[in-house]
Amino acid sequence: MHAMNRLASVLATGALLLSACGKGADAPAPASDGHAHAPGTHDHDHAPTDDHGHGPTVELGQSQHGGHTVRASRDGELKPGGEAPIDVWITGGEPIAAVRFWIGTEDGSGALKAKAALERDNWHTHAEVPEPLPAGSKLWVEIESTTGTIVLAGFDLKA
């Protein structure tokens, strides 16, 4: 009986500490978090107007590539030398091993490829915007399947 009282006391203390910290599920993220997420750790939903300070969402379109349906968006203004928060939703096709994004030319010349992390139902990362931004630049999405097949999709930046 003594062990059960101790367990109840520990559980009650833990519940009290958690409720007193003021950082429940609805608490805003700290301003300094930079909105970075390790793979599989994006544990909060975004309201349609929640831009994490990145600016308004710009839908870049949807297309079919290698059996996948790929839809892309970016947040905020594109600034050469800065970075652009990118979200991509991929359905269908072969199972995915990795997704990479870059902004620039199709061959990736002068661009830095960024490996995206799977959040809930989308792939997310911040892609570097080259300076200078080459004429005709696009968002490029490279989808690597678990079998090693590479599919490339390009989206107008709508800048």
In order of their start, the domains of the chain are 58-156 (2.60.40.1930)
Run of H or E including 3: helix 2-20
Q: What's the whole-model pTM score?
A: 0.68
3-state secondary structure of 151: strand
Least confident span in 21-25, 77-81, 92-96, 125-129: 21-25
Q: What's the CA gap between 157 and 127, in Å, rounded? A: 12
Residue 73: pLDDT above 50? yes
22: phi then psi, degrees, rounded to nearest 5? 75, 15
Q: What's the CA gap between 88 and 72, in Å, rounded? A: 4
Neighbours of 10 (CB within 10 A): 10
**% residues pLDDT > 90 (the chain):** 64
Residue 58: pLDDT above 60? yes
Average of per-residue pLDDT values in the chain: 77
pLDDT in tens, 11-24: 343 333 333 333 33
